[in-house]
Chains A and B, each alone.
Chain A
């Protein structure tokens, strides 16, 4: 048994770290955040040129067919650098397309996504719904050559930057995954800014929008499940990267900030919080990489592995953020310090793909029922 990343994986991770440090230092992040789209096209091109937009996609569609562990290693660095980009949304969408069975649509959509030439996102949440697919109600009516969508989706990531929107809807009693171009007739996008400055959320309204069907019924359910699990793991890796940044930054501060004639890191109340942060980081790391490995290997325990990882990382990142701010004292509470960027990102990540309560209930179903 070997829990270590391979030499190649470590090199991949190191090169991602270098890339982000060089291409997107924190000052650039603040520029992107303040920009209209909240997304830098040159940065996206750079990410695509590294191969990361197609890292886990099939080779037949111009992907690199590497593992989820490799992707998690890159995603960790993205989280550590707090990169504003549609990466999670587009990875979720492209994984959903790859797991569907409409080969024409796959052939049309995937290569451009793999090469970063286009961006996609997925619309699932509605008023009164949660991350359980059974609560999806948005009405899809059979149309001439596909389906017709009517209704409203909320909290859609990166709808403005996306070229393509996948819509989880219900046709009769069946779940379907529909595909629309962002410029489709009857589709309206409204910005709904959230707490997280590094991610953009939108409400998307559908007024009799004609759409293609990517998958329906059991295949749609499975594709949605698998892609959401993949996206959840990437989010865990993102959370982990952020946690590592907070720990490192906080320990450096505790060593340098002096009060009462000593570094504040000499005081046990501060030291012990730092030790707890390390403990949580190590636990989050174990859970995240195990889930990535288990899902990629189709391990029988992969469903619970994802529940475990997302529930744990969602809470741990918040607690680490709390301690990070606390130990920094007054300056930790300012807009000027970078801590709040990570803290707010951790909150949106906490919600994405189901928070700790959601995943605990999914886990309870597996272990009790």
Chain B
């Protein structure tokens, strides 16, 4: 057991750090409004710049344009980007989910066409999985695809789709067989978002921004060659995609939350309540210490999981454990922050409304990327071997 980085891990980190310091944009890339087109084109340029510098798709095999980074190096990558406040990675779904899926399941043509365009930010991807009637039970999805000559004709609706408003392509789960068990009649299509019949409507979140969308498909024609994997084999492909999502174990989340905690401690030293400095109040000190220790344990368990993957190469249930852990931890963290900072914390112009935003946004953490309830079912059934509850 050795928790120090190895020499090659240190080299990886130092090279990345140096490149970032020389190449990060001078000012953070911020959206001026919900529909600021410059925001997205700036993010694409940044992604492309990372590609030119050799820092896109770091975990992709070298044969597909990546660096073949280990899971530890992937963790370092996420940490360093977050530590230096690097811009949002608009290609994150393409790089982290779609790319690995195409590598595992795609035809040679699909690999040749799509993979380079993901890496260099020509294509931004979104995932069309959930529907209004199919959330946790995504296998019950009803968006239909019917074969018509050389095409599939797609009709239906998707919801909660991040990046749909700016995406070029979509990994779309569709029903292609109504006469079998629900998960056996699903196929996965690669859909050009510029196809006729595709429309996108942003959905506003309670935290104010419209980071996700509804997508409507009305008689959309998708070439049959855009089927990925075999017909009706889409469920298995979904599981592969989701395993990769959970394998992205949140090294950057740690850095983000740590920054919030550091900012909170700084504020506590500046502010008073009842004549006492917030940082001297023993109750506040207990809360801060608790936040800190939960956050550090999150980092440790993330590293332990990355270490295990590095040794065994298959992501296991660690993803579900970590997802429950960080999402519920963050909800406690933001509530403690609101308590410590007091009444003023609810005001929109107190610290630019950042505490308000963090507090509200945290309610989505236990719902997105697999609800806490589903994650607990997964742990209970797949790790502890308890019987299915439904």
Question: Residues of A at under 8 Å CB distance from B?
Answer: 1-6, 9, 69, 251, 254-255, 262-263, 265-268, 270-272, 274-276, 278-279, 282-283, 285-287, 289-290, 293-294, 304, 307-308, 311-312, 357, 359-361, 363-364, 367-369
Contacts and interface: CB of A to CB of B under 8 A. Distances in A.
Nearest to B292: A367
Contacts of B307: 1-4
B9 interface: yes
- Specify which of A4, A255, A276 lies most central, judged by the most chain B CB atoms within 10 Å of its CB: A4
Contacts of A289: 1
Given A290-B3, A360-B285, A361-B282, A3 B380 contact: no
A275 B376 contact: yes
A286 B1 contact: no
A268 B389 contact: yes
B386 A272 contact: no
Given A1-B4, A363-B289, A278 B279 contact: no
B8 to A, nearest CB: 11
24 contacts: A2-B307, A2-B311, A3-B3, A3-B300, A5-B1, A251-B386, A265-B380, A266-B386, A271-B376, A271-B380, A272-B376, A274-B379, A275-B379, A275-B380, A275-B383, A275-B384, A278-B379, A290-B300, A307-B289, A308-B293, A360-B289, A361-B286, A363-B289, A367-B292
Nearest to A291: B300
B380 A272 contact: yes
Interface in B286-304: 286, 288-290, 292-294, 296-297, 300-301, 303-304
A317 B325 CA distance: 17
How extensive is the interface on chain B, given as a class? 35 or more
Given A262-B387, A290-B3, 15 more contacts: A69-B1, A251-B385, A266-B386, A267-B389, A268-B377, A271-B377, A274-B379, A275-B324, A275-B376, A275-B384, A283-B297, A286-B301, A308-B293, A308-B297, A360-B286
Interface string B360-390: 0000000000000101110111011111110
Mostly helix, strand, loop or mixed at chain A's interface? Answer: helix
Contacts of B6: 1
Given A2-B2, A254-B386, A266-B388, A274 B380 contact: yes
Contacts of A282: 301, 321
A274 B293 contact: no
